[in-house]
Amino acid sequence: MPAKVYKNRLGFTGAWGVIFLMLLSIACSKEKKDFLPKFKDRSAIPGMYTDSVTTLISDSGRIRYRVIAEIWEIYDKVSDPYWYFPKKVYFERFNDSLKTESIVQCDTARYFSNRKLWELKKNVKLINLKGEIFETSLLYWDQREQRIYSDSFIRIERVDGVFEGYGFESNQTLTKYNFLNFSGEIPMDSEESKPVENEAKASK
């Protein structure tokens, strides 16, 4: 009689063990499914994602840029690969002596790595070595041609006045520039301002 009771208890315990293993198996299978999703379009997923970025970028063996950004994504599987900075980004460009020659900041930016082209959008602000401030909503920086340009409205603040216009071209150090369609008041009491005015009229 005691042996029979022992056998029933063993069967009851074994049944609960089987149920537990089944539940564990189901839980594990669900976890794997969530952990390893299948992406239909790999190009829509960044190959690299990082946040709170502060990094130095070199060009031709020399350190040229310091980049500070909240988020940095790299899309390497698209036809035109690019880096994407969806939130505010700030970077400095250095000369050969590692001195800052220009500062750039904006709300969003893309860098097309094969073309070496920056596309800067929303609240774009640049400062050159003289302290002149350039403000616009859209700006392109072509590193191959060493040229900065825009078709949008741009505002330039200098010690001799504020200059506004549509369309803009400059070298990448922001030391030589002109408007494509100049508008705004130019102070006539400064000799330094006259070349800008003449250049703007000539480009119309």
The domain containing residue 80 runs over which residues?
A: 44-202
**Alpha carbons within 13 A on the beta-carbon side of 192:** 6
Residue 57 pLDDT: 82
Do 137 and 192 fall within a single domain?
A: yes
Q: Identify the DSSP state of 39.
A: P
What's the pLDDT at 74? 94
Per-residue tokens: 160: 């001799």
- Tell me the sheet residues that pair with 141: 118, 148
Same domain for 19 and 61, yes or no, is no
More confident residue, 107 or 48: 107
Structure confidence at residue 166 (pLDDT): 93
Looking at residue 48, its pLDDT comes to 87
In a domain? residue 122: yes
The answer to whether position 37 is within a domain reads no
Q: Is residue 130 part of a domain?
A: yes
Residue 43 is predicted with a pLDDT of: 73
User: Model-level pTM?
Assistant: 0.68
Q: Above 50 in pLDDT, residue 5?
A: no
Phi and psi at residue 23, in whole multiples of 5°?
Answer: -65, -40
pLDDT digits (tens, 9 = 90+) for 158-175: 988 899 999 999 998 898
**Tokens, residue 1:** 């009689």
Q: Mean pLDDT in the chain?
A: 78
For residue 2, the model assigns a pLDDT of 47
How far, in Å, CA of 56 to CA of 91, rounded? 9
Are residues 23 and 60 located together in one domain of the fold?
no
Q: How far apart are CA 142 and CA 150, in angstroms?
A: 11
- Are residue 122 and residue 82 in the same domain, yes or no? yes
Residue 131: pLDDT over 80: yes
| pLDDT tier for residue 13 given thresholds of 50, 70 and 90 | low
pLDDT value of position 148:
95
Report the CATH number that the domain containing residue 182 is assigned in CATH: 2.60.450.10
Summarised one tens digit per residue, pLDDT across range 136-145 is 999 999 999 9
- Domain-located, residue 142: yes
* Ramachandran sector of residue 190 (left: φ over 0; alpha: ψ -120 to 50; beta: rest): beta
Summarised one tens digit per residue, pLDDT across range 51-85 is: 998 988 887 788 888 999 999 999 998 999 999 99
Question: Which pLDDT band, with edges at 50, 70 and 90, does 26 fall under?
Answer: low
In a domain, 115, yes or no: yes
* Burial class for 49, CB neighbours closer than 10 Å (0-12, 13-18, 19+): exposed
pLDDT tens for 188-199 read: 454 444 444 434
Residue 40 confidence (pLDDT) above 80:
no
Average pLDDT over residues 18-27: 51
* Distance, CA of 32 to CA of 128 (rounded, Å): 53
Backbone angles phi, psi at 117, to 5 degrees: -125, 125
Give the C-alpha separation, 20 to 25, whole Å: 9
72 and 13 in a single domain? The answer is no
